[in-house]
A and B are shown apart, each in its own frame.
Chain A
Amino acid sequence: MSTPPSKGNSLAAYFGFGEIGDSPAEQKLQDMKRRKTKRRLWTLLGLVTTWALFYWSLLLIEFRLSELVGQFDQFVEAMTEYFPPTTYFGIPFVDVGAYWSFIRAENLILAVEGGQIVWGAMFITMGVAFAGTVLGLPLALFFGVMSSERVIPYPFNFLFRGTMSLIRAIPGLVWFLILIPLAGVTPFTGALAIMVDTTGYLGRLFTDELEEIEDGPIEGIRSTGASSSQIVTFGMLSQVFRQFIAWIAFDLEHNVRAAIGLGIIGAGGLGLELYVQRQTFNYTEMMACIILIFLLAGSVELLSQRVRSMLREDDNVEKTGIIETFANVPRNIIGSTMGRR
């Protein structure tokens, strides 16, 4: 501690309550020391409060280190189930066969039974996403076009804009919960939730795209004596046709991820399978589901990106590498499930 020498009552002086001199500089020093003391007291209070809240939270969640220590062996065991070890040609490796036999047994991809194809969980997820996208597409187109100021004059287009904002304010996950009374805890309801979600998001993307079109072609079509719906179709929509297709591809990719999230809360497919295996503590089977989810979401994303960059030759579509795409899958699934893009 650097206490000022010679002047008595050094501790009080250190905290700014002692007498160290009468010159303006010394007075100021005294003042600054007092301020510092005040800051320290606030910091102390903050630390004490944080610690108290933390301790209280630990009590509430019944946190016990002994539990972690006692369960550690079980966790290691679970890890060997997540990644069952085996050896290939003497080299230790994860037993891919274990995953595969589960995927076959539960028919997660597809199977042929008696000459008929039985579609598995992966295709159910895909189906939820695809059906939802197609169902939502006409609605998105309608709301997207009607929200454009060039189609519907200013105050009235906000009726459609507002509806889309409202839809977007509620995540797809919650739409699923809301729509359960309509079609039960089924893939069907999942598709309906995605339909609603698509209306809000894809419609908004359409509107944004329509804001950027040029006036020239619209006037050109108007000059031919076309009807107002023809002016919208040929003067406006024909300008953004390619961009719309690109946005649809983007939305489908998002919806596949959202469908996985919806599956976990009951909309079937890979998400549901993952949830069921979790409930029965079948770790190898859980990991098999997770791997399939990675593969599905990653492949759809890759495909969609390639389609989009093909359609928008001039624009810059973010083009990520294959490894990066698959590495981003978990984060993107969470994002899509929560309604973020």
Chain B
Amino acid sequence: MSTLKVENLSKQYGDVVALEDVSFEIEDEFVVLLGESGAGKSTLLRCVNGLTEPTEGSITLDGEDISGSQTDIGMIFQQHNLVEGVSAYLNALTGSLNRVSMLRSMLQWQSQEDKVRALEALETVGLLDEAHQKVSRMSGGQQQRVGIARALVQDPRLLLADEPVASLDPSSAESVMGYLRKAASEHSVTALVSLHQVNVAAHFGDRFIGLRNGKKLFDVGRGELTPELIDDLYGSVETVSLAKQASKPDPKQNGQQEGAEPADIEQEIEA
């Protein structure tokens, strides 16, 4: 149970305005951040994570300012950012670093609880049997799932993911997103995920926030993400609408809202 509140957030890099007066509040939801490259998605996530200092505005998690403290926020990166030479288990275990001293962590004297938690996190993402394997020997999708496990071991209140499936093939992307969704709901954490693939977003999101040129364009629930909104967000890019059409069961029902679908898919994944 956690609430992320972003109020009047602005960020400027010199003369370039990356974010302008963005506000929203999310509570125990799986929120997808949509927008073109350069729309401000990464900047927003970096601000929330504390990797970048905002120019104006405030970000609070359960009423507390999130300045700098990253222990409560799990982050999943596009390029997974794991240590490739060591096992999936040890990578997942690094999620517990903030709870142990330097010396104990060096000698791998984490508590039994943390070690079990690391393996349970790997179980959540379906990699318990591969826990001993080196990350460098794993596929891109598996590596990203280890990244999710590491974030879970942190026991975060908020899960951030910056284009977690951008470098994966469609089938790995779907399974990684499925595991991410499952991880968020099992641990009941708020998740804020930026995505490029509109159809993937529509399948998995509870709520959608669209950014364009650093401004919030829309903030809609599951039933309200219409093709018009998408067209508005990306301009008229043909391949985006193509992808949307392909994901629809019946192309004739073009005007219908997208919301009905994700629930079924979600059930499939959780089954």
Q: Name the prevailing secondary structure of the A interface residues.
A: helix
Q: Total interface residues on A, using CB and 8 Å?
A: 20
14 A-B residue pairs with Cβ-Cβ distance under 8 Å, sorted by A, are A216-B80, A217-B81, A217-B84, A219-B51, A220-B80, A220-B81, A221-B83, A222-B51, A223-B51, A224-B150, A224-B151, A225-B71, A233-B105, A242-B85
Check if A217 sits within 8 Å of B97, measured CB to CB: no
14 A-B pairs besides A224-B70, A224-B95, A226-B98 with CB distance below 8 A are A217-B82, A217-B84, A219-B51, A219-B77, A220-B83, A223-B51, A223-B74, A224-B94, A224-B150, A225-B72, A230-B97, A234-B105, A235-B83, A238-B83
B12 at the interface (CB under 8 A from A): no
Interface residues of B (CB under 8 A from A): 49, 51, 69-75, 77, 79-86, 94-98, 102, 105-106, 147, 150-151, 154
- Residues of A contacting B106 with CB < 8 Å? 233
Q: In the bound complex, do residue A220 and residue B150 qualify as a contact, i.e. CB atoms below 8 Å apart?
A: yes
Residues of B within 8 A of A224 (CB): 70-71, 74, 94-98, 150-151, 154
Tell me how far the C-beta of A150 lies from the nearest C-beta in chain B, rounded to whole angstroms: 15
Q: Does A316 contact B (CB under 8 A)?
A: no
Q: Decide: A225 and B154 in contact? CB cutoff 8 A.
A: yes
How far in angstroms is the closest Cβ of chain B from A125? Answer: 34
List B contacts of A220 (CB < 8 A): 75, 77, 80-83, 94, 147, 150
Docked CA distance A225–B94 (Å) = 10
Complex Cα–Cα for A221 and B77 (A): 11
Specify which of B73, B83, B95, B106 lies most central, judged by the most chain A CB atoms within 10 Å of its CB. Answer: B83
Report whether A227 and B102 are in contact in the complex, using a CB–CB cutoff of 8 Å.
yes
A226-B102 Cα distance, complex, nearest whole Å: 9
Pairwise interchain contact A230-B150, C-beta atoms closer than 8 A: no
Whether B70 lies near A223 (C-beta < 8 A) is yes
A234 touches B83 (CB 8 A): yes
Q: Are the CB atoms of B70 and A225 closer together than 8 Å?
A: yes
Whole-angstrom distance between the alpha carbons of A216 and B86 in the complex? 15
Complex Cα gap A219–B74 (Å): 12
Q: How far is the CB of A142 from chain B (nearest CB, A)?
A: 15
Kindly state the separation between the CA atoms of A222 and B73 in the bound complex, as whole angstroms.
11
